[in-house]
Amino acid sequence: MIIFFKKIPKNYIYILFSTLLMSGFSFVILKVIQARFGQVFFDNYILILRYSGFIVPFIMLGMGVSIPRHISFIRHNSDSTKDKNSVVETGIVIVLLAIFITFLISFFLANFFEFNKLLFNGHEYFFILIMYCAGLALFSSVYSVMRGFEEFKLIESLKICLIGIPALFFIFYLKTLTDYLYVYTVLNCIVFIFVFWYKNINININIKIESAVLVFGLKRVIGDVTYPLLVSIPIIYTVNSIGYESAAKFSFYIMLVNIFVMFVNPISTIMLTKAVKIVNSKSKLLNYIVFSFILSIVLSIFFSILSPYIISYFGYSINKIDIFNLSIILSFLSIYICVRSIIDAESETPHLLIMTLVALFFEILYLLLIDYIGYLYIISSYFISFGILLILSLIRYYRIYTNAESV
């Protein structure tokens, strides 16, 4: 069932161990923030984490997928170091330019459209949100480079030693939440600088618009932004319709779902660079989808058992119906994350963009409906959007399977 992982167990272990450790650090940091700075700061921190999930993909302009995909194809089909370097340098420059443009745009949004009021109910966190997202984007760009070369051991070690452990240390001593977010951004920048030096990356501003790396990324940027919008729009709706305390609670629920998804993320990370080897094999594709379904069921069961205790530990409450619905949402999301790397790597056409746009349309339609009738059950909007996303992704996966060879 997991035949295609026989040659890469160490990479999965590196990523999973790092993810588990970083998640443990995150839980401690969450609790310390809640204890040291109070519930208001804690709620705003949860919102910052949620909004960054939307902003960072926008800054990345699809490079998180485009860079490793093209490096992988070159590694399997060409020995040209020049081609690999071109992919790396083009991708990094695009992200740096996107960060600069994001700062310019955010200046106008903060001063003319009162985004602090829209996103944080008046609390002044919009600028630090942008700073935080810029740091995450820098880390994501160099992570995508190391992902393409499959140097997971080094990048995961850097993530633990230069970001995770220092962040855990600083949260106990820094005086404000803003100070911590600034320091966390600096830690991400340090990792960026190290990889920049390690891979001997050069800055070349003569980027050609026809560059395959840029074109592939741009085709997917809307999809990359739309996917976190599926999570962020119900939160923004809740901030403005119910209150930011409720929005923080729902955001915490989804964050907890994402934490359980961490067991799936390493598989998705690895499969992007391995997809070229399995998309033409019916047996491997079948084994992989069966594995994905089994994994999603196991994760959902563990979530339904453990999540009530975790949620109550952080001072929130949840009923059994919400636990059940979130468990189903987790299963939808797990399967989708498993298959999306195969779908994305298989074709130049941005199929995931179409899927996420359809899911987003129905999510917004549902939110408008419940707002009209006054039945404000936000979790069901995630159930609908991720359910549609799963159905569409499985349809595409089946088409890939039917076109594959019987081997």
Task: Render pLDDT for 188-210 as a digit per residue (tens, 0 to 9).
Answer: 999 999 998 998 877 765 555 44
Token output for 318? 């949840």
Q: Is pLDDT of 100 > 60?
A: yes
Q: Are 144 and 69 in contact (CB under 8 A)?
A: no
Q: Give me the percent of the chain exceeding a pLDDT of 90.
A: 23
Per-residue pLDDT averaged across 283-308, rounded? 89
Number of domains in the chain: 1
pLDDT value for 1: 44
Per-residue pLDDT averaged across 304-311, rounded? 90
Distance CA 151, CA 11 (A): 8
pLDDT value for 192: 95
Q: Are 92 and 145 in contact (CB under 8 A)?
A: yes
Question: Residue 269: CB partners within 8 Å, gap ≥ 6?
Answer: 15, 147, 152, 341
Measured from the Cβ of residue 210, the count of other Cβ atoms closer than 10 Å reads 7
Distance CA 148, CA 87 (A): 10
Per-residue pLDDT averaged across 8-20, rounded? 75
Amino acid letter, residue 120: F
Closest Cα partner for 69 from 215, 288, 194?
Answer: 215
Tens of pLDDT, residue by residue over 122-162, are: 567 788 888 999 999 999 999 999 988 888 889 999 999 99
Q: Look at 2-16, 93-107, 176-190, 239-253 and tell me which has the smallest mean pLDDT.
A: 2-16
The pTM of the full predicted model, rounded to 2 decimals, is 0.75
Structural domain for 162, as ranges? 3-403
Distance CA 69, CA 144 (A): 9
Closest Cα partner for 145 from 212, 100, 93, 216?
Answer: 93
Closest Cα partner for 157 from 177, 171, 143, 136?
Answer: 143
Question: Residue 119: CB partners within 8 Å, gap ≥ 6?
Answer: 47, 51, 125, 126, 129, 236, 239
pLDDT value for 166: 94
Distance CA 138, CA 285 (A): 33
Per-residue pLDDT averaged across 398-403, rounded? 88
Distance CA 356, CA 179 (A): 35
Q: Is pLDDT of 350 > 80?
A: no
Distance CA 5, CA 25 (A): 28
